[in-house]
Chain A
Amino acid sequence: MRIIVAEDHVFFRKGLVNTLTDFGHDIIAQFPDTEKLADRVRADAPDLVILDVRMPPTHTTEGLKAAQQIRASFPEMGILVLSAHVETQYLGKLIADSSGYIGYVLKDRVANLDEFSRLMSDIAEGKSVIDQTVVKDLLNRANNRAALARLTDRERKVLELMATGRSNKTIAGRLGLSRRSVESAVSDVFNKLDLPDREDDQRRVLAVITYLQS
Chain B
Amino acid sequence: MDMPSGRHEQSFHATQTGSFAVSESMLNGRTPRTFQTEGRTPSLSEMSPWSLGTSVWGRSKSSVKTPRGAIVVALCLVGLGVSVASLVMPFPPWVPRPDEISLVLFTLCGFAFLLGGLFISLWHPKNRIGVLMMAASFAWFSENLLRIDSNITFTVAAFSYILYLAIIEHIFIVFPYGYMRSATDHVLVIANYCWCLGLNALGMLVWDSTRDDCFNGGCPRNLLEIYRSSALNLAIGRVLCDGSCLLMTGTLFLVAFRWRQATVATRRIMTPMALGAIPVAASTLIDQGVQYGTAWPSDLWSQPGQWLLVAVPLSVLLGLLRLRLGHAALTELVVQLSALPQGESLETLRQLLRKTMHDPTADFGHRYSEGAPLINTDGHVINLAMARSTHGVHELEDAGGTVYGVLLYDPILDQDPRLVRAVVEAVKFAVQNKRLEAERQARLKEIQALTVRMVAAADTERRRIERNLHDGGQQTLLALGILLARCHKKARDGDLSTLPELLSNASEMTRSVVDELRDFCRGMHPTILSEAGLEAALESLQHRSPLDVSLDLLLPERLPALAETTAYFVASEALANATKHAHANVVTIRAVIESAELVVEIKDDGMGGATFHDGGGLQGLADRVAAVHGQFQVHSLAGDGTRMTVRIPCA
Interface residue ranges, A against B (CB under 8 Å) = 9, 11-12, 14-16, 18-19, 22, 54, 59, 84-85, 107-108, 110-113
Q: Which of B194-202, B210-218, B374-382, B472-480 contacts A (4 or more CB under 8 A)?
A: B472-480
A-B interface contact total, Cβ < 8 Å: 55
10 closest A-B pairs by beta carbon, nearest first, are A11-B479, A15-B482, A111-B481, A9-B475, A15-B479, A12-B479, A111-B485, A107-B478, A12-B475, A113-B485
User: How far apart are the CA atoms of A60 and B281 in the complex, in Å?
Assistant: 101
Q: Given A22-B489, A113-B489, are A12 and B482 also a contact pair (CB < 8 Å)?
A: yes
User: How far apart are the CA atoms of A174 and B321 in the complex, in Å?
Assistant: 106
Q: Taking CB as reference atom, which chain B residue is nearest A14?
A: B479
Shortest Cβ gap from A15 to chain B (Å): 4
Residues of chain A with a CB closer than 8 A to B480's CB: 11, 15
User: How far apart are the CA atoms of A108 and B478 in the complex, in Å?
Assistant: 6
Q: List 20 A–B pairs whose Cβ atoms lie within 8 Å, in order of A's numbering.
A: A9-B471, A9-B479, A11-B475, A11-B512, A12-B475, A12-B476, A12-B478, A15-B479, A16-B482, A59-B471, A84-B474, A84-B478, A108-B478, A108-B481, A110-B481, A111-B478, A111-B481, A111-B484, A113-B486, A113-B489
Report yes or no: B471 in contact with A110, Cβ–Cβ below 8 A. no
Residues of chain B with a CB closer than 8 A to A85's CB: 470
Q: Is B543 an interface residue (CB 8 A)?
A: no
Residues of chain A with a CB closer than 8 A to B471's CB: 9, 59
Q: Given A11-B509, A113-B489, are A84 and B482 also a contact pair (CB < 8 Å)?
A: no
Q: Taking CB as reference atom, which chain B residue is nearest A17?
A: B482
Residues of chain B with a CB closer than 8 A to A107's CB: 478
User: How far apart are the CA atoms of A12 and B475 in the complex, in Å?
Assistant: 6
User: How far apart are the CA atoms of A19 and B486 in the complex, in Å?
Assistant: 7
Residues of chain B with a CB closer than 8 A to A113's CB: 482, 485-486, 489
Within 8 A of A (CB), among B487-522: 489, 509, 512
User: How far apart are the CA atoms of A18 and B489 in the complex, in Å?
Assistant: 13
Q: Is B467 an interface residue (CB 8 A)?
A: yes
Q: Taking CB as reference atom, which chain A residue is nearest B476?
A: A11
- Sorting the interface of chain B by its residue count into under 10, 10 to 19, 20 to 34 or 35 or more gives 10 to 19
Q: Taking CB as reference atom, which chain A residue is nearest B490?
A: A22
User: How far apart are the CA atoms of A14 and B475 in the complex, in Å?
Assistant: 11
Shortest Cβ gap from A31 to chain B (Å): 16
Most chain-A CB neighbours within 10 Å: which of B474, B476, B485? B485
Q: Is B162 an interface residue (CB 8 A)?
A: no
Q: Taking CB as reference atom, which chain A residue is nearest B495?
A: A22
Shortest Cβ gap from B480 to chain A (Å): 8
Within 8 A of A (CB), among B513-546: none
Q: Taking CB as reference atom, which chain B residue is nearest A8?
A: B471
Shortest Cβ gap from B600 to chain A (Å): 33
Report yes or no: A22 in contact with B486, Cβ–Cβ below 8 A. yes
Q: Is B431 an interface residue (CB 8 A)?
A: no
Residues of chain A with a CB closer than 8 A to B191's CB: none
Q: Given A9-B471, A84-B470, are A110 and B486 also a contact pair (CB < 8 Å)?
A: no
Q: Taking CB as reference atom, which chain A residue is nearest B463?
A: A59
User: How far apart are the CA atoms of A104 and B474 in the complex, in Å?
Assistant: 19
Q: Taking CB as reference atom, which chain B residue is nearest A7?
A: B475
User: How far apart are the CA atoms of A19 and B481 in the complex, in Å?
Assistant: 11
User: How far apart are the CA atoms of A18 and B467 in the complex, in Å?
Assistant: 26
Residues of chain B with a CB closer than 8 A to A15's CB: 478-480, 482-483, 486
User: How far apart are the CA atoms of A89 and B474 in the complex, in Å?
Assistant: 21
Shortest Cβ gap from B586 to chain A (Å): 33
Q: Taking CB as reference atom, which chain A residue is nearest B466?
A: A85
Q: Given A59-B467, A111-B481, are A18 and B486 also a contact pair (CB < 8 Å)?
A: yes
Shortest Cβ gap from A57 to chain B (Å): 13
Beyond contacts A11-B476, A18-B482, A113-B482: 15 other A-B pairs, Cβ-Cβ < 8 A, are A11-B480, A11-B512, A12-B475, A12-B476, A12-B478, A12-B479, A16-B482, A59-B467, A84-B475, A107-B478, A110-B482, A111-B478, A111-B481, A113-B485, A113-B489
Residues of chain B with a CB closer than 8 A to A14's CB: 479
Shortest Cβ gap from B512 to chain A (Å): 8
User: How far apart are the CA atoms of A19 and B470 in the complex, in Å?
Assistant: 22
Shortest Cβ gap from B63 to chain A (Å): 82
Q: Given A11-B509, A59-B467, are A110 and B489 also a contact pair (CB < 8 Å)?
A: no
1/0 contact string of B363-396 vs chain A (CB within 8 Å): 0000000000000000000000000000000000
Residues of chain A with a CB closer than 8 A to B478's CB: 12, 15, 84, 107-108, 110-111
Q: Taking CB as reference atom, which chain B residue is nearest A114?
A: B489
User: How far apart are the CA atoms of A111 and B486 in the complex, in Å?
Assistant: 8
